[in-house]
Amino acid sequence: MSYTIAVIGCGVIGQRLGHAFVENDQLELKYAVDVNREVLSAYCEEFGTQGYRDYKEVLRKSDLDIVYVAVPPKWHEEITLAALDARKHVICEKPIGISAEQGRRMAERAAEKRRVTAINFPFKYSPSFAKLRTMIADGELGEIQSIIIKIRMPRWPRVWQNVEWLTYRDQGGPLREIGSHFIYGVQELFGDIEVKQAEVEYTGLGRFEKEIQAQFVASGIPGRIDILTLEEDEEENTLYIRGSEGQLRFRGWYILERWEDGEWILVDNSTTNSGLELSKQMVAAIKGDGQLVSFDEATRVQAVIDAIFADV
């Protein structure tokens, strides 16, 4: 049995996941939605989909099973709730929305409608992140003493993104776009983050953050989020974990290294097609048993972002 899926939002991420959906022989990518005629036309030509500019038209399709919401975060709640009300299963791009309150409403509606939902956090399916989890659980670092999320973006948005909404304070910026992945990762490894203090400097009125310095604790372990944009030459996104018996870092989305004898030594750099795995797990969940990042988990990530921007 195959399931029919629609992509709502045909930008870069919608294209990436589109390729993953096509690779999954349990899915049929049949519908695409975008308000931009040229983007929509190009998407339909590439994937052979039926194109629409109004998502409400697609949600009325009786043969549609799954919706992938890949629009800017400002529109996640509206489209997700409409899809759930139309009895469709939903994959939503991260972050879940622009506030944790939106996330809670989305999670409640999904439970009410008894639909399968997921958020696209690729660390869920990363072999090297799984290795990191195992090493920590096996006590290879001893007692965990500190956690650091470090992000450096010399250009924002990144060249391959080039969309204006990523510069907006209410839905863009590196904390929401990149930091959310690492916040999810920390909470997977150590439990919920409690923000203790945060300082945020913005690049301008209504614009994205230039610098963030935030202190937090997770299961009693002190941590720090350190973000700087438009300053340094090298792009970086790294999770550093220091323990009484050693240090690990997880960088560049999939590279796991250990500090030994004064240098970083590769532990694992295995990769997987996370989009394909997400789509497979979505189908498995619809059938009754799949491994997905829930709306509740994504809402807990968003609560950390909200706390940082609230400047607690």
Is 3-122+274-294 assigned to CATH 3.40.50.720?
yes
Q: How far apart are CA 156 and CA 121, in angstroms?
A: 21
The low-confidence residues of the chain, meaning pLDDT below 70, are 311-312
Burial class from Cβ neighbours inside 10 Å (0-12, 13-18, 19+) for residue 105 reads: middle
Amino acid at 153: M
- Provide the token pair at 107: 């999670």
Q: What is the CATH number of domain 127-270?
A: 3.30.360.10
pLDDT for 233: 77
| pLDDT for res 162 | 79
In one-letter notation, the amino acid at residue 181 is: H
pLDDT tens digits, one per residue of 96-147: 999 999 999 999 999 999 999 999 999 999 999 999 999 999 999 999 999 9
In whole angstroms, give the CA distance from residue 118 to residue 73: 15
Nearest CA among 125, 118, 146, 111 for reference residue 254: 125
Per-residue pLDDT, 213: 98
| Three-state SS letters, the chain | CCEEEEEECCCHHHHHHHHHHHHCCCEEEEEEECCCHHHHHHHHHHHCCEEECCHHHHHCCCCCCEEEECCCHHHHHHHHHHHHHCCCEEEECCCCCCCHHHHHHHHHHHHHHCCCEEECCHHHHCHHHHHHHHHHHCCCCCCEEEEEEEEEECCCCCCCCCCHHHHECCCCCHHHHHHHHHHHHHHHHHCCEEEEEEEEEECCCCECEEEEEEEEEECCEEEEEEEEECCCCCCEEEEEEEECCEEEEEECCCEEEEEECCEEEEEECCCCCHHHHHHHHHHHHHHCCCCCCCHHHHHHHHHHHHHHHCCC
Cα 11 to Cα 229: distance, rounded to the nearest angstrom? 24
Q: Would you kindly state where each structural domain of the chain is located, as residue ranges?
A: 3-122+274-294, 127-270
Amino acid in position 78? E
Give the pLDDT score at 311.
Answer: 63
Regarding pTM above 0.85, the answer is yes
Rg, C-alpha atoms of the chain: 20
The token pair at 17 is 């996941």
The pLDDT, as a whole number, for residue 312 is: 41
Going by their DSSP bridges, the two strands 144-153 and 236-243 should be labelled as antiparallel
